[in-house]
């Protein structure tokens, strides 16, 4: 089934179910609707293809020879490293990679790329990373994978910070698509008072992120905890980010404000949408 046909059938079925009164699909289409029974699998495959499109486009348009490249974390970055390694082999590029996490470090080593760090390369030419959500101003929520602090350090020390994502992460305002809140890395002993202060000052709900395959909370690469703040309203994110970082015990927030230069979104129709940061 083609991408366009899948999208058409999904929308048509949704319209049939939500209309008042409901209507039945024509017999010419009913034979195809069984495909929607595994629509979740199809949607997942579509999202993966969109991630790959965004990653490949970002690497092709932003990485050049003799550069130091910051390598982000998450599922989308896997495709970026695949493409980066492919270009290094084919074009004989001299590229040095600085990782944002244990995962990124392993990807770099597995692909035989040159590994470095901020001690040897304190200034990077470009950093490429994913995002949990991107708004119209290129403000990001990051940290769904728990690597927000290292990711922000790498992005902040790069001449150019590029974001890659699929169409599900593209929003007009934060919170439109991503419903898990803003990740906040905290010193373990401070997670309760920090949670109370954030909820009191900014509203919403603050939860300690619990691990899935171990007992207890998620522990970051820095041996800290993660709080997820589910905010209620659109905020002045620059002010909120600064205010939260001033709370004793907060290490870093997953709000990336005025950091990204451009974002590449892999779309449902197989295209790639590029959004540039607004001019200041």
151 belongs to the catalytic site = yes
Spatial separation of the C-alpha atoms in residues 266 and 128, rounded to whole Å: 15
User: What is the percent of the chain with per-residue pLDDT over 90, rounded to a whole number?
Assistant: 80
User: What is the percent of the chain with per-residue pLDDT over 70, rounded to a whole number?
Assistant: 86
Query: Is a pLDDT exceeding 90 seen at residue 157?
Result: yes
Cα–Cα nearest to 184, from 147, 127, 154, 226: 226
> H helices of 94-236, where?
102-110, 148-156, 191-202
pTM: 0.84
Burial level of 160, CB count in 10 A (0-12/13-18/19+)?
Answer: middle
Spatial separation of the C-alpha atoms in residues 198 and 255, rounded to whole Å: 14
Query: Is a pLDDT exceeding 60 seen at residue 35?
Result: no
Which residues have C-beta within 8 Å of that of residue 278, sequence separation ≥ 6? Answer: 137, 138
Catalytic pick among 91, 133, 151, 176: 151
Mean pLDDT of 26-41: 55
Fold classified for 44-274: Rossmann fold (3.40.50)
Asked if 131 and 263 touch (Cβ cutoff 8 Å), the reply is yes
Query: Is a pLDDT exceeding 50 seen at residue 99?
Result: yes
What pLDDT was estimated at residue 133? Answer: 97
Residue-wise pLDDT for 172-216, tens only, equals: 999 999 999 999 999 999 999 999 999 999 999 999 999 998 899
Residue-wise pLDDT for 114-139, tens only, equals: 999 999 999 999 999 999 999 999 99
Q: Residue 58 has which token pair?
A: 């970002």
Pairing relationship of beta strands 133-134 and 126-129 according to DSSP bridges: unpaired
Cα torsion 197, 194, 230, 152: sign: positive
Integer angstrom CA distances of residue 244 from 114, 208, 210: 36, 16, 21
Asked if 96 and 123 touch (Cβ cutoff 8 Å), the reply is no
What pLDDT was estimated at residue 41? Answer: 80
* Orientation angle between helical segments 191-202 and 237-245, nearest 10 degrees: 150
Which residues have C-beta within 8 Å of that of residue 21, sequence separation ≥ 6? Answer: none
What pLDDT was estimated at residue 33? Answer: 46
Q: What end-to-end distance do the CA atoms of the chain give, in Å? A: 44
Spatial separation of the C-alpha atoms in residues 107 and 110, rounded to whole Å: 5
Q: Residue 127 has which token pair?
A: 């950093």
Cα–Cα nearest to 175, from 225, 235, 130, 129: 235
Q: Residue 270 has which token pair?
A: 């197989």
Q: Residue 86 has which token pair?
A: 């492919």
How many other CB atoms are there within 10 angstroms of residue 52's CB atom?
19
Residue-wise pLDDT for 218-257, tens only, equals: 999 999 999 999 998 888 999 999 999 999 999 999 999 9
């Amino acid at each position: 089934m083609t991408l366009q046909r899948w999208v058409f059938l999904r929308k048509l079925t949704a319209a049939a179910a939500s209309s008042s009164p409901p209507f039945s699909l024509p017999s010419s289409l009913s034979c195809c609707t069984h495909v929607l029974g595994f629509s979740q699998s199809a949607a997942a495959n579509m999202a993966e293809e969109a991630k790959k499109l965004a990653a490949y486009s970002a690497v092709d348009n932003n990485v050049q020879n003799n550069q130091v490249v910051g390598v982000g974390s998450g599922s989308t970055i896997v495709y970026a490293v695949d493409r980066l390694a492919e270009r290094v082999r084919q074009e004989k590029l001299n590229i040095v990679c600085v990782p944002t996490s244990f995962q990124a470090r392993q990807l770099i080593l597995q692909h035989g790329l040159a590994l470095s760090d901020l001690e040897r390369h304190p200034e990077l030419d470009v950093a490429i990373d994913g995002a949990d959500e991107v708004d119209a101003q290129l403000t990001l929520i990051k940290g769904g994978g728990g690597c927000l602090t290292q990711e922000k350090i790498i992005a902040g020390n790069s001449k150019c910070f590029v974001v890659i994502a699929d169409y599900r992460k593209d929003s007009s305002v934060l919170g439109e698509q991503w419903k898990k809140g803003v990740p906040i890395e905290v010193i373990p002993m401070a997670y309760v008072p920090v949670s109370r202060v954030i909820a009191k000052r900014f509203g919403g709900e603050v939860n300690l992120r619990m691990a899935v395959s171990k007992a207890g909370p998620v522990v970051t690469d820095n041996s800290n905890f993660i709080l997820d703040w589910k905010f209620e309203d659109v905020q002045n994110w620059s002010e909120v980010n600064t205010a939260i970082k001033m709370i004793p015990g907060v290490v870093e927030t997953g709000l990336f404000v005025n950091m990204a230069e451009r974002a590449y979104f892999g779309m449902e129709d197989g295209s790639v949408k590029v959004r540039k940061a607004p001019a200041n």
